[in-house]
Chains A and B, each alone.
Chain A
Amino acid sequence: MSNWSSTDDVAESLQRSGYLTDPRIAQVVFLADKLEKPILAEGPAGVGKTSLALALAQATGRRLVRLQCYEGLDEAKALYEWNYHKQLLRLQSDEGKAWHEIEGDIFTEEFLLERPLLEAIRAESAVVLLIDEVDRVEMETEALLLEVLDAFQVTIPELGTVTAKDRPIVVLTSNNTRELSEALKRRCLFLHIDYPSVEREQRILLAKVPDLPDAMATKIAKTMRSIRQLAVRKAPSVSESLDWARTLLALGVEDVDAKITVGTLEVLLKYQSDIDKASRELLEP
């Protein structure tokens, strides 16, 4: 079951959904679809990892199921848990019954809280499953993810085993704040997304910021490249580049120069030390 016939096909359909690929991204998406393997998209913040998954859902007409990871995310929040509140209420109304009578009543569908992973497995039609910022979870949860990704099958002791009808397209994202386990990486196709090339950034700008003149898009993209080379503490990403383009348009700027750039650096850089460094470089290169 595949969604695309070639990498060009991937690129076009994602572009229609507002996402600009490069040959690497298109190839990995194509492969993930053909081989039914998860994509592990890794790279700095704001380079389009999450939006790749969103665009994939749109391009394939599939529903997006999102598991947002954070430190402390556990099985109960990722897979399922029992609604004990509701169970307790039922128990109170059933007072006096024996445990073996009650047990069958309260461990049923009605009391199950479905979390994203289970939702993706039980979906009627195939979904896109986004496991966002997986580098934030702890080892136990990573192991759980691995288990689920292996078979798309879950056993709930009280309800039995459920298996996904169609394999979801899975995208895991990581900002590489820590190295993931070998086992998880082995399971995935690895997609390193870095800051875009000048050409691609320019195309993203033109696609996302209506009314932006070509020449300004080029100049913004090149300025981004130069600032990223400055070894700043936190380099500006595509999100900042888009914000900056919108800011410049709102200010009625027609041609970007050093003075205007220095005046609007807070849009691009978060640390004062970075702003100082960039100002110096821009004013006296």
Chain B
Amino acid sequence: MQFLQSVLLRLCTTLITLAGVAVIVFFVIRVVPGNPIAMMLPPGATEADVARLTALYGLDKSIPQQFLIWLSGVVQGDFGTSITTKQPVLQLVLSRLPATLELSVMALIIAIIIGGFMALTGTRLRGSKTEAAIDIGNGMALSVPDFLWGLILILAFGVLIPIFHISGRVTPSLPLPFSTNFYLTESLLRLRFDLWLDIAAHMFMPALALAIPLAAIISQLLKQSLKETMHLDYVTLARTKGYSETHVILREALPNAILPTLTLVGVQFTFLIGGTVIIERLFSYEGLGNMAIDAVINRDLPLIQGIVILFAVIFTGVNLLVDLTYAALNPRLRHA
């Protein structure tokens, strides 16, 4: 009962946050100088043409009025029409969302694998030179943001040892048999491993750039939490039963040490998704972030609005999900 109540409360604050984002982004972009309508029209268009189009996009009304019209549309799932492509914003945004989601999830998986491996190795070899090296590596990885890691990866694996693709999502000449935009997932489901490999090789560099800082955070937190767990009596008891150190870490300590790391990874994952904007630009990857920057450069107001709102929905959604999973995974918390 109390659990349900706190869930409802969380939902309410989430809605308030989203409303706040909507208001701010709506008003900020109305201040943009430069008339997007004039930019659309061919040179030599008349005043009347401009006025007609302005009315069409509702830009002649007062800003609060525009907001109300936009809001009532949003409630019905209508985010307006993109000024540059003349397509519904929702459709455009949803067509790019899969690319960004696949990239983010891939990055998360890479971060968990690298971070987890580092934490376990550091715990297994605690006190050794290897652990010290891992600590230094973590410090470096945390100090430098994904943007710089992206550039370094481009140099290292795009130029120096060119083994990965450093731009695009898939080799353009390949015919794509897909019916959704989840290319990576769908190629796997259709058992088209040739395509899967090509897509993965394109995605790997941007995903790794996004993953490096998160991997360092996971490694640091999990190692800390594992080290504390390794001192506990049940771990010692397991050692006296004849288990190897590796087994003791993996089977006894890890399941108990992982929960605190999990919550933090949730929050950090939203930062990672925020990072896709610039990383997609850097790797010319056709996702939401790249589209967003184009939209800003082209002054495509409805599209910018739609993308920012979508990002906000993803962020708050991930946070909500993490809170709920945490509560569900920790039975003592739920009964309390």
The judgment on whether A and B are partners is no
Residues of B within 8 A of A (CB): none
